[in-house]
């Protein structure tokens, strides 16, 4: 099922980008600063390793391109922040001949529910880099995964959560994790 979702995600992103090139969320290139490490396992093994750390495949993600090679990603996974479920860590994978490269950022998640917030999709799909989307920010579970199954090369100052700032202002308080429904 994930392979079908992956193909559809890439196709939809490509179509959206061909209709409105550079003006919609269909396709974009990641930044080198999002690189956090590499895995020495097969792409087939990555899914269960990520799922064991509360990551899930993200079928509504844009098609991402490698920052240097400009090739499409081989996987898009997210983990909701358990302290603030309006935010997520978003991980992208590229299968290389000798490893799987891992890139990460921390952002508002796109869905406007859990808690209800109709502005959140705007903050997600049209981010302000360094404000509503923190490039290279990664969760401790991803750091542990990279240390166990590969090489961790992330910026330790970008480990965990960090404040996000919305378009035109600061982050508004959201309900505690136990007040919001589970979407995992």
How do beta strands 63-65 and 27-29 pair?
Answer: parallel
Residue 184, in any domain of the structure: no
The full DSSP string for 140-176 is HHHHHHHHHHEEE---GGGBS------TTSPPPP---
Residue 118, in any domain of the structure: yes
Q: What is the predicted pLDDT for the residue at 134? A: 95
pTM assigned to the model: 0.84
Asked whether the beta carbons of 81 and 87 are under 8 A apart, the reply is: yes
Asked whether the beta carbons of 138 and 159 are under 8 A apart, the reply is: yes
Residue 64, in any domain of the structure: yes
Q: List Cβ neighbours of 78 (8 Å cut-off, separation of 6 or more).
A: 55, 56, 58, 61, 88, 89, 90, 91, 109
**Into how many domains does the chain fold?**
1
75-123 residue pLDDT tens? 999 999 999 999 999 999 999 999 999 999 999 998 888 778 888 888 8
Residue 16, in any domain of the structure: yes
21-37 residue pLDDT tens? 666 667 788 999 999 99
Residue 151, in any domain of the structure: yes
Q: What is the predicted pLDDT for the residue at 25? A: 65
The full DSSP string for 45-58 is HHHHHHHTTT-EE-
Mean residue pLDDT of the chain comes to 84
Its domain, for residue 138, covers 2-179
Residue 14, in any domain of the structure: yes
């Amino acid at each position: 099922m994930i392979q079908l979702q992956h193909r559809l995600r890439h196709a939809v992103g490509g179509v959206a980008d061909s209709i409105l090139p550079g003006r919609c969320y269909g396709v974009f290139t990641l930044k080198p600063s999002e690189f956090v490490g590499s895995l020495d396992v097969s792409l087939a093994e990555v899914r269960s390793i990520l799922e064991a750390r509360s990551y899930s495949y993200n079928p509504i993600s844009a098609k991402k391109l490698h920052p240097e090679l400009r090739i499409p990603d081989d996987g898009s996974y997210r983990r909701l922040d358990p302290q603030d479920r309006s935010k997520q860590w978003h991980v992208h994978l590229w299968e290389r001949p000798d490893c799987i490269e891992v890139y990460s950022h921390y952002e508002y998640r796109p869905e406007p529910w859990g808690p209800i917030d109709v502005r959140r999709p705007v903050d997600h799909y049209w981010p302000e880099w360094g404000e509503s989307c923190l490039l290279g920010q990664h969760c401790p579970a991803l750091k542990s995964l990279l240390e166990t199954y590969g090489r961790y090369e992330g910026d330790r100052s970008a480990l965990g959560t960090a404040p996000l700032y919305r378009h035109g202002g600061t982050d508004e308080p959201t309900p505690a994790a136990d007040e919001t429904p589970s979407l995992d």
